[in-house]
Amino acid sequence: MELAYYSDYAVRLVNTEEPARNKDALTSVDSVRELFGANAQAARRATDADVTRFRSVRARLRAVFEAADGGDETLAVDLLNSLLLEFPVSPQISGHDTRDEDGKPDWHMHLADHPSNATAGYAAIAVMGLAFHLTSHGVDRLGLCEAAPCRNAYLDTSTNRSRRYCSDRCATRANVAAYRARKRLETERSAETGLSADAAQPSTPNTDL
């Protein structure tokens, strides 16, 4: 499994909440288990207590994205280091379920967690994945969507570091809103120009007697 894959765990968890809209999708054991995706064995470890624990980790991960998005690289790294200390993993070489064309194991790095509960297991791989992404691509590659009120987290993998939105949907919505704002401004300016021109016209004296 590619180490970059693990960083998606962090994004998925952070985006279960939309603070500006007062929405929270992390409300049950089932919603916790859905975050594990195809890792059914790890998902089965989740209990009711993990809902609260997952929310706590989510808040701390969002703080990392907020610091990075605000340009405070040192704070983002400090917050992530704190999580790494609390949720350690053991890197291992793995070749399970994958074979090359010669039938030999396709060896790759795998993050093995040794969790005391489902939250610890999920947090460990999410935090390590995010750390790999940050150190490989830069702190500025961690962002929060600019399409208000979204503010979903995303990882910028663009070649020119140009990503500003979490999805194509938000990008389209933001572009439409910007276009409409420009059109309103143009209309207002046109109206003001017309009023100014009318005021500048000399009045015609009334010569009728």
Name the residue with higher pLDDT: 92 or 197.
Answer: 92
C-beta separation of 140 from 65 below 8 A: no
Mean per-residue pLDDT, 154-180: 86
pLDDT (tens digit per residue) in 67-80: 999 999 999 999 99
pLDDT (tens digit per residue) in 139-162: 999 999 999 899 999 999 888 888
CB neighbourhood size of 37 (10 A): 12
pLDDT (tens digit per residue) in 96-152: 666 767 778 878 777 666 678 999 999 999 999 999 999 999 999 999 999 989 999
CA distance 106 to 91: 16
CA distance 25 to 208: 77
Q: Residues 183, 186, 192, 194: is their CA dihedral positive or negative?
A: negative
pLDDT band at 209 (very low <50, low <70, confident <90, very high): very low
Beta-carbon contacts of residue 144 (< 8 Å; ≥ 6 apart): 65, 66, 69, 151, 152, 153, 154, 166
Beta-carbon contacts of residue 167 (< 8 Å; ≥ 6 apart): 145, 152, 154
Helix-, strand-, coil-residue percentages of the chain, each rounded to 5: 55, 10, 35
